[in-house]
Amino acid sequence: MATDTFDNIDWDDQDVSSFSLSRETVAELLVYGAIVVTFLYDHYVLQNEGPLIGSWDVLSVEWLFAGTIVAMFFHGVLPLYQNPRMRGFYWKRFKQNRVAVFAAGFLVLVFFTGLIGPLVLEPPEVRFTNRIRPPVGITATIGGVAKTGTWKFPLGTTGKGQSILKLIVYGMRVSMQVGLISTVFTVVIGSVVGAVAALATAMDIGWLDEVLMRYVDVQSVFPSFLLLLLLVYLFGAKLWLIIMVYSFLSWEGVARTVRGEALQRSSEAYITAALASGADMMYVVRRHLIPNSANSVIISATILVPGFILGEAALAFLGFSDPTVYSWGRTISNGQSNLASAWWITTLPGIFLFLTVLSFYYVGEALRDAMDPRQQIEQGGGL
Amino acid sequence: MKWYIAKRLLWTFVVAWIALSLTFGLLAASPNQGQMRATMSCAAVGENPEECREDFRERNNLDQPVTERYMNYMVNMVTLNWGWADSRSQYVIPAILSAWPYTAQYAIPVLLISTVVGYGLGLYSAYKPYTKTDYLASFVGFFGISIPNFWFALLLIILLGVPLDFIPTFYNSGVPAQQGWFSIANLKQLIIPMFVLLTASLAFQMRYCRAQAIEQMNQEFVKVAKAKGADDYRLMIWHVLRMAAVPLSTSFVGQLLAIFWSGSVIIEQIFAIPGLGLMSFTALVEQDTPLILGTSLIGVLLAIVGNLLEDIAYVVLDPRIDYGDR
């Protein structure tokens, strides 16, 4: 009807729902559904007996990793792709920090090598005939025998004869899994708790906010590394257990951030406007409060990733790691007994661990500068 | 203010009670390692495993109802009757008492140095942000946070210890007993462990202080102070640091303890320092449940007390905070 104006609409006829699903959300939910269905198929029909796809036997953590990649795609890559203006703005500010650009490049490399490498390369096998070989171009005396590195093992081998190159590539996947899965879980739990706490205050359910934030206090007091050691002792070292413990014990920072941001925003005019035009509380939270605190959440999340990676490596170094998983920490620990004669066993995986963690910190710093509109970015950046 | 502190104190006891109960719940709900071992060792010598299991349960009071065990556990914890540590043939409390000086001798200096130097560098960085010195400080900070301390320790052993043979690469626990805690020889063997631990905690303090101080630099009261002619030194220390110390103090204990606990287990394991970290590590490896419990609870109690101090520092440092109804 062309004659519809504000005052002649019969508002009782209008049945407008504030609940709507965008195409992207539907696609995202479908992909999650597909992952769950394949998981159930693998779990109940194949009973984890044989490999699922080709020779690839998908294990517990890989399912979570698949979900994480989907979440990152729909909430990171896709919005940036769809919004060129925002992308341009962030990129312009991000590239001011030249070191961070290199760091981001390195992380992309590590991510894809870790993703694809283990599909192409056979797992590193234990061969006592290949024990301790130096990297290419290096001659070393081990146990009285002079050995020179060959191209068969470009980065040398460990005391068990495993190729260090393969261990590094497999370790990339483990590090990315630990860092990214835990962070996604942390962000989800923290955002929900923070938003609920803020919402409770806004709706005068003060006790709920008090209970939630008191719990957050208790959790932030708990030394999670100790609890992790205790849980690993009680239930055995499984990678998914380590990831879950990190996820469920580290969200308090995100929750505090989201709550603080949401409380600050909830008194702003556009929230009042949204409420006045009939939006319900859920809609306000979903459409206004969470997206508007996204920047601070992303900033605190980028600091979480390297922390998780370091923590897992430290656990693995101490020997509390999943024996089926090729963690960098374990390789470094294996080289501890050959420290004097074969320095490369501890040094090479350590360099990758160090660079990965360092890159995450640099990228996080540059992201903070790029996303915080209060920051004035001047020339230079980095070093 | 007294009322506020009393309330916080009460809250501390509540948290301690929750922590103890949670630990009990975890131990009660999990598979019992000792019971499994007892059953297996019986089966190995050909006895009836079922009988041994009953026997073990009876000896460890596992046949009592959960409520009674919980009561006993709580009474034992409060009266410091923390049980017998098999791996050290010693009661848990004396074991902890004999181990803590080895940890304190490097932990306390590292804590002091990292706080003083870290805050100093952080303030200096915040004073002139986005300059060459700030970038250099940033790099040092990121380097310190990022370098895995277990790897760094091994690297230093390779680089310094092995070829130079000047600094001992392993801790000799006889030295403090023979030559005293403050002897040169003891200091020499603590240099590498302290340096490794210092990189992480100093960098953390520095980054955090810088972020908080920059936040404060834009506040009105800093401009007022500057307009009234406060010199840079007074401005940074008296106005900026004091205000930045409020948010700093609220995460100080938790974050630092996290670095320390993971750090001390690793450092003491690598350098064989017989402190609390190594003790909890060996307790875990040898599955000595009372000792694991004891060392973990020490960490939790330290964290709880630290949090109490933080809460008190919070109101002492910032006179603007209204603690009347908190």
Distances (CA, A) of B7 to B2, B3, B79, B301: 9, 6, 24, 18
Six-digit token string for A163:
């190729």
Q: Please, is A300 exposed, middle or buried when counting C-beta atoms within 10 Å of its C-beta (0-12, 13-18, 19+)?
A: buried
Give contacts of B154 with chain A, Cβ < 8 Å. Answer: 332, 335-336, 339, 346, 350
Cβ contact A332:A349 at 8 Å: yes
Mean pLDDT of all residues in chain B?
Answer: 79
Q: At what angle do helices B92-127 and B184-217 cross, to 10 degrees?
A: 50
Using a CB-CB cut-off of 8 Å, the residues of chain A touching B295 are: 226
CA distance A132 to A134: 7
Does residue B43 surpass a pLDDT of 80? Answer: no
Scanning B128-187 for CB atoms below 8 A from A yields 130, 135-136, 138-139, 142-143, 145-151, 154-155, 157-158, 162
How many residues are listed for chain B in this entry?
A: 326
Contact criterion met (CB < 8 Å) for A318 and B269: yes
Which has more confidence, B47 or B132?
A: B132
Residues 6+ positions from A255 with CB-CB distance below 8 Å: A189, A190, A191, A193, A194, A197, A212, A216
The one-letter code for the residue type at B144 is G
Decide if pLDDT at B245 tops 80. no
Cα-based distances in Å from B126 to A363, A379, B204 = 20, 17, 15
In 3D space, the residue among A306, A303, A300 whose CA is nearest the CA of residue A354 turns out to be A306
How many angstroms away from the CA of A354 is the closest CA of chain B? 5
Q: Among residues 279-298 of chain B, which lie with CB inside 8 Å of chain A?
A: 280-281, 284-285, 287, 292, 295-296
Q: What's the pTM?
A: 0.83
Of the candidates A272, A282, A199, the one whose C-alpha atom is nearest the C-alpha of residue A18 is A282
**Is the CB of B15 less than 8 angstroms away from the CB of A358?**
no
Our CA-based measurement puts residue A254 at a distance from the nearest CA of chain B, in whole angstroms, of 14
Q: How far apart are CA A237 and CA B201, in angstroms?
A: 28
Residue B155 with chain A: CB contacts under 8 Å: 346-347, 350
**A332 vs B284: CB contact, 8 Å cut-off?**
no
Residue of B30, B261, B262 with shortest CB distance to A235 = B30
Residue B276 and residue B264 in contact, taking contact as beta carbons nearer than 8 Å: yes
Convert the pLDDT of each residue in B78-111 to its tens digit: 888 788 887 788 888 888 888 888 888 888 888 8
Check: CB of residue A347 under 8 Å from CB of residue B158.
yes
B106 CB contacts (<8 Å, ≥6 apart)?
Answer: B190, B193, B194, B197, B267, B273
Q: Is A16 exposed, middle or buried (0-12, 13-18, 19+ CB in 10 A)?
A: exposed
Query: Given this model, what pLDDT does residue A378 score?
Result: 45
Measured between alpha carbons, how far is A213 from A182 in angstroms, rounded to an integer? 21
With a CB-CB cutoff of 8 Å, which residues 233-252 of chain B face chain A? 251
Provide, as residue numbers in chain A, all residues whose Cβ is less than 8 Å from the Cβ of B26. Answer: 230-231, 234
Q: In the block, which residue shows the tokens 């609890």?
A: A227
Q: How confident is the model at residue B178 (pLDDT cuts 50, 70, 90)?
A: confident
For residue A336, what is the nearest residue in chain B, using CA coordinates? B154
- Nearest-by-Cβ selection for A339 from B15, B139, B158: B158
pLDDT, one tens digit for every residue, chain A (383 residues): 456 666 676 666 665 555 566 788 888 889 889 888 888 887 777 666 666 665 556 667 888 888 888 888 888 888 888 888 888 888 888 888 888 899 999 999 999 998 888 888 887 777 777 777 777 777 777 766 777 767 777 777 777 778 888 889 999 999 999 999 999 999 999 988 888 888 787 777 778 888 888 888 777 766 677 777 777 777 777 888 888 888 888 888 888 888 888 777 777 788 888 888 888 777 777 777 777 777 778 877 888 899 899 988 988 898 887 888 888 998 888 888 777 777 788 888 899 999 999 999 888 888 877 876 555 544 333 33
Are the beta carbons of A319 and A332 closer than 8 angstroms? no
Token digits for A247? 């996820």
Summarize chain A as % helix, strand, coil (round to 5): 70, 5, 30
- Binary contact (A383, B136; C-beta < 8 A): yes
Coil, helix or strand for A122? Answer: coil
Q: In terms of residues, how long is chain A?
A: 383
Q: Do B30 and A222 touch (CB under 8 A)?
A: no
Q: Do B154 and A336 touch (CB under 8 A)?
A: yes
Cα–chain center distance at B297: 11
Note whether B300 contacts A229, CB cutoff 8 Å.
Answer: no
A&B contacts, CB < 8 Å? 130
Cβ proximity of A295 and A372 under 8 Å: yes
Look at B151 and A354 and tell me if their CB atoms are within 8 Å: yes
Q: Is B17 on the interface with A (CB under 8 A)?
A: no
Cα(B11)–Cα(B42) distance, integer angstroms: 47
Question: What's the pLDDT score for residue A120?
Answer: 82
Interface contact A358-B146, CB threshold 8 A: yes
CB-CB under 8 Å, B303 with A217:
no
Q: Residue B44 is inside which H or E element, if any?
A: helix B33-44
Residue of B18, B30, B146, B201 to mutate, testing the A interface (most A Cβ within 10 Å of its Cβ) = B146
Long-range contacts of A326-329 (CB under 8 A, 24+ apart): A326/A123, A326/A124, A326/A166, A326/A167, A326/A170, A326/A171, A326/A174, A327/A171, A327/A174, A327/A175, A328/A167, A328/A168, A328/A171, A328/A174, A328/A175, A328/A352, A328/A353, A329/A353, A329/B148, A329/B150
User: Cα–Cα distance between A327 and A315 in angstroms, integer?
Assistant: 10
String of DSSP letters for A285-331: IIIIIHHHTHHHHHHHHHHHHHHHHHHHHHHHHHT-S-TTS--HHHH
- CA closest to B133 among chain A residues: A383
Mean pLDDT, rounded, for B62-83: 81
Q: How far apart are CA A122 and CA A167, in angstroms?
A: 11
Q: What is the pLDDT of residues B195-222, one digit of tens each?
A: 888 888 888 888 888 888 887 777 788 7
B279-309: pLDDT as tens digits: 888 888 887 878 888 887 887 788 778 778 8
Residue B326 has pLDDT above 50, yes or no: no
Nearest to A340 among B162, B299, B304 (CB): B162
Residues of B in contact with A358 (CB under 8 A): 142-143, 146-147
Which secondary-structure segment (H or E) carries A146?
Answer: strand A145-148
CA angle A309, B156, A350 (to 5 degrees): 30
pLDDT, position A351:
92
Whether B272 contacts chain A with CB within 8 A: no
Answer whether B266 touches A (CB < 8 Å).
yes
Q: Higher pLDDT residue, B248 or A213?
A: A213
Q: What is the mean pLDDT of residues B259-273?
A: 84
